[in-house]
Amino acid sequence: MAMRFIDVGANMMDDMFRGMYRGKRAHDDDTGAVLARARAVGVEKIIVTCGTLEEARSGVEMVRESRMINASIGPELYATVGVHPTRAYAFRDDPEGADAHVAKLLRVAEDGARDGAIVAIGECGLDYDRLEFCDAETQREAFARHFELARAVGLPMFLHMRGGGEYVVIDDFVDILSVNAEGLTMCVVHSFDGSLSDAERVLAVAPGRVFIGVNGCSLRSEANIDVIRAIPLDAMVLETDAPWCGIKRTHAGYVHLDLPPEHFPLAVKKEKHVPGETLVRDRNEPAHALAVAQIIAGIKGIDVNIVADVTYRNAQRVFFAQQMIE
């Protein structure tokens, strides 16, 4: 049977997929070609991550439009509702107050959950690597408010955890997650690049209900590789975080990559990109979920089909349990 994938986190609303880079147009919108490539390698579903109220509203629109345009040819699109930790000031700065901001997010979540456009609360969490955008206290307060949303609509959570330098994030992250774990369905700690101890602490908060999201950022160093080798496959889901977190030749995990050239077209500079014929160099895509799976398989010494099957089923359990019942 052909491999199937669910990319549990891709920034499909990023301007790069519209052909815009730092405010300048480099090529035409190639979203359709990007989705077609994803489908060609077996990506059946993509969760479009949203990090602001405005993005969540746009995400719902994007999902619903995709159902009418490419329902039969492209991967199914879904979205999240939440506030990224680097934008957590949105709660504080809402003219109507933090409670009103929560209520606005809840309205989007409830509306999107009715027809399945919204499948998770997030991207939310803590990012202590970029405190210049938002201070830690504001991030912690905003993170806690998201659990109210998750409980209100009964949706899983898509979580962000960054910070291992001067300001270590794991203690605050686990504390907030632990205090709010009751009533939580499931969650994914996405783009995981922490230590094995960090992974074990996060997974122990709610065994069987917390999953680790693996993408190119999870496969950069030898230390990352050791962590992925140790984390049970049953606790993993795949993601790309496209257009970010791509897999590079300098990454430790690259040695496990063995995709034949026909899997992906030539990658060129963005200015020379021809939609449908080339890839944009250094722009990650949902189609690269296959590459993530292959590297995990190489690290663990197992068949890539096993990685694809187990992580697909894990993602189904977390985000699409109702579809499994139906």
Binding residues for a divalent metal cation: 123, 160, 190, 241
Return d(Cα 212, Cα 193) in angstroms, integer. Answer: 10
Return d(Cα 98, Cα 88) in angstroms, integer. Answer: 10
Neighbours of 171 (CB within 10 A): 9
Task: Name the binding residues.
Answer: 123, 160, 190, 241
What are the Cα distances from residue 20, in Å, to 23, 103, 247, 292? 6, 33, 22, 26
Return the structure tokens found at 292: 């993530």
Which residue type does 182 have? Answer: E
User: 3-state SS of the chain?
Assistant: CCCCEEEEEECCCCHHHHCEECCEECCCCCHHHHHHHHHHCCEEEEEECCCCHHHHHHHHHHHHHHHHHCCCCCCEEEEEECCCHHHCHHHHHCCCCHHHHHHHHHHHHHHHHHCCCEEEEEEEEEECCCCCCCCHHHHHHHHHHHHHHHHHHCCCEEEEEECCCCCCCHHHHHHHHHHCCCCCCCEEEECCCCCHHHHHHHHHHCCCCEEEEECHHHHCCHHHHHHHHHCCHHHEEECCCCCCCCCCCCCHHHHHCCCCHHHCCCEECHHHCCCCCCEECCCCCHHHHHHHHHHHHHHHCCCHHHHHHHHHHHHHHHHCHHHHHC
